[in-house]
Amino acid sequence: MQKINSMRAGLVLLMLMSAFSSTAQKNPFITEIYTADPSAHVWNDGRLYVYASHDIAPPKGCDLMDQYHVFSTDDMINWKDHGEILRASQVPWGRKDGGFMWAPDCVFRKGTYYLYFPHPSGDEWNKTWKIGVATSNSPASGFQVQGYLPDLEPMIDPCVFIDEDGLAYFYYGGGGVCKGGKLMDNMMEIDGTMQPMEGLVDFHEATWVHKKDGVYYLSYSDNNDKDGKHNQLRYATSDSPLGPWTYKGIYMEPTDSYTNHGSIVEYKGQWYAFYHNSALSHHDWLRSICVDKLFYNEDGTIRKVVQTTGK
């Protein structure tokens, strides 16, 4: 009888393992094209959407990035590719040779989806960055470029955070500079002036802001370059959306890519960390987006994210 019970327990375990392996999240979770810089959001339809940049093969550094795609899921396992939503040739004020469609972000406010994206307006691309704005009444199609945020310094990596009171905040940066400010109600202009985000340690780029239990979290990639490993993902906290910030530490170690760019979101009661690596291509500039569970300690600090393959 004991032997039979043992066999039954083993069979149940095998069945559970089989069920888990057939439904476990695999990383990278998008394998049909190369993607990077995942901006993850949960919209009112109950699905989680990821807005990603696109690395084009053969790569030319990050110069050829173009053609933003959107992916969505309702179970964190099966992903739908909604296709391309915008490319450089659709940006009227953009550089004539295109490319340089770097990390985007998207927000939903008062019935409209706003896609924010960095793109140069001239051949001197690093001196002519603008933050473009495209809008749609759908989360994954129909985006039309409306213009760009005026009077900003030429920087990249836009992030927009809408607080519980409905006020919208804009962040961007790069090259060690991170700035933030309040957006006007039209979501197309800065209300007042942009200000430095104080208190960050070793900021490089990739600003992301989220809120949990009344605390604001600003996460970002750093300048790590040691033993062949590069960007770590760090974070700081504040009781205000514009800081000052208190540095808290590193929440993700380097991937196998020269870069990393993350977002943090809660979905169906679980927090997730999105990021990218080069696991499919083994090339720094042909990247693939990934996701893993993220956990908080009781004091609100973030535990180190465990990068998985799901295989």
| Chain segment 71-124, per-residue pLDDT in tens | 999 999 999 999 999 999 999 999 999 999 999 999 999 999 999 999 999 999
What are the angstrom distances between the C-alpha of 157 and each of 106, 117, 154, 197, 264? 12, 7, 11, 14, 15
Q: Does 4 score more than 60 pLDDT?
A: no
Count of beta carbons in the 10 Å neighbourhood of residue 228: 8
Span 17-21, average pLDDT: 38
Span 207-224, average pLDDT: 98
The residue to which tokens 């993902």 are assigned: 233
Report pTM.
0.92
Confidence of residue 58 (pLDDT cuts 50, 70, 90): confident
Cα–Cα nearest to 131, from 142, 143, 121:
121
